[in-house]
Amino acid sequence: MVEFVVPEPDYDRYSNRQLAAVPLAVLALALLVLAGWTLMTGTPVTPGIEFTGGTEIQVATDASQSEVRGSLDFEIDSVQPIAGSNEFIVTTQATDSDAISSAARSAGYEVVSVQSRSASFGADAQRLALIGIGVAFVGMSLLIFALFRTFVPSIAVVASAFSDIIIPLALMNVFGIKLSLGSVAALLMLIGYSVDSDILLNNHILRRRGGFYESTYRAMRTGVTMTVTSIAAMIVMWIVSSLFQIPLLPDLAIVLVFGLVADLMNTYMLNLSLLRWYKYEGVAR
């Protein structure tokens, strides 16, 4: 793997409080966004039809996207064109597929396919998704504590991983991205991405020879290369999957971009400040 030329940061210019202030402020802002969204809507993130129940109907027509939206007499969540064809995917939280198909035919559209999910099935899927994320996070936390066996380095990794999940969730609300199977998969992947970069940094500083800043720079050369490469790959995947209207992939890619950018900040500011405090002040006490 070709490594990027990472300029060596002058960490001596900043105190531990200054380094930690920025990621903690961003995390606090993200938590405020989620809290406000919960007060307004009842959920931290707006769920998609996979979790609320609803119907996806694919129609063929020469009408425009706006004409399709305006001509159907049921409440529409979204109208997505399928690249390279005259077809659209219309999503709605209504679950009566027969009535929806009838309304589409009455509007003059050819119904290509209809998929419906009940509200109870959506609620079960949402509960399983949340349980899956929670179990993955708790399992990761236990593994980290078992690996390092000391509180501060372990809590540094867990705190960074927590922030890597919370910040993308808040940005999903800001940019109007609903919780879907793709975004849930991205959140699960972010736990792994975050742990990789944080363990790399912790191992270089705590278990390898060399000074603190020398070890930090060695870890950054590899860690930043991995993360920036992943960000570039996810941006490309988001562009391509959005252009060709590939299901799930746009949500997965953009949420990963949010989380990986946050991971750069959390790993090399928040995690590093806690490790520096631990090595030079915490251990001495």
Query: How big is the chain by its Cα radius of gyration, in Å?
Result: 23
Q: Which pLDDT belongs to residue 5?
A: 63
How confident is the prediction for the chain on average, in pLDDT? 87
Own/partner contacts of 218-223, CB < 8 Å, gap of 24 or more, are 220/6, 220/9, 220/268, 221/3, 221/4, 221/6, 222/3, 223/197, 223/267, 223/268
% of the chain with per-residue pLDDT over 90: 40
pLDDT of 4 over the 80 cut: no
At 245 the pLDDT is 76
Q: Note the pLDDT tens digit of each residue in 203-226.
A: 998 887 778 888 889 999 999 999
CA distance 237 to 273: 33
pLDDT tier for residue 33 given thresholds of 50, 70 and 90: very high
Edge-to-edge strands of the sheet including 54-60?
Answer: 78-81, 87-92, 54-60, 110-117
In this predicted structure, the answer to whether residue 283 has a pLDDT above a threshold of 60 is: no
Q: What is the pLDDT of residues 69-93, one digit of tens each?
A: 888 877 888 888 877 778 888 888 8
Q: Give, in order, the Cα–Cα distances in Å from 21 to each of 24, 121, 152, 178.
A: 5, 42, 17, 30
pTM, two decimal places: 0.85
Residue type, 238: W
What pLDDT is recorded for position 285?
47
Q: Give 229-282 pLDDT, tens digit per residue.
A: 999 999 999 999 888 878 789 999 999 999 999 999 999 999 999 999 998 775
- Residue 113 to residues 59, 89, 93, 190: CA-CA distances in angstroms? 7, 9, 16, 34
Task: Give the Å distances, CA to CA, from 146 to 139, 203, 232, 271, 282.
Answer: 11, 14, 33, 18, 20
Bridge partners, residue 90, by sequence: 57, 79
Cα separation, 253 vs 259, whole angstroms: 10
Q: Please answer whether residues 281 and 187 qualify as being in contact, where contact means their C-beta atoms are separated by less than 8 angstroms.
A: no
Q: Spell out the domains of the chain, with CATH numbers in brackets.
A: 11-48+120-282 (1.20.1640.10), 54-117 (3.30.70)
Cβ–Cβ under 8 Å, residues 164 and 182: no
Query: In terms of Cα–Cα distance, which of 69, 74, 76 is closest to 99?
Result: 74
Residue 139 predicted with pLDDT over 60: yes
Q: What is the pLDDT of residues 165-191, one digit of tens each?
A: 999 999 999 999 988 888 999 999 998
Sorting pLDDT into bands at 50, 70 and 90, what band is 130?
confident
What per-residue confidence (pLDDT) applies to 160? 93
* pLDDT of residue 284 exceeding 80: no
Say yes or no to pLDDT of 122 above 80.
no
The predicted structure's pLDDT at residue 132: 86
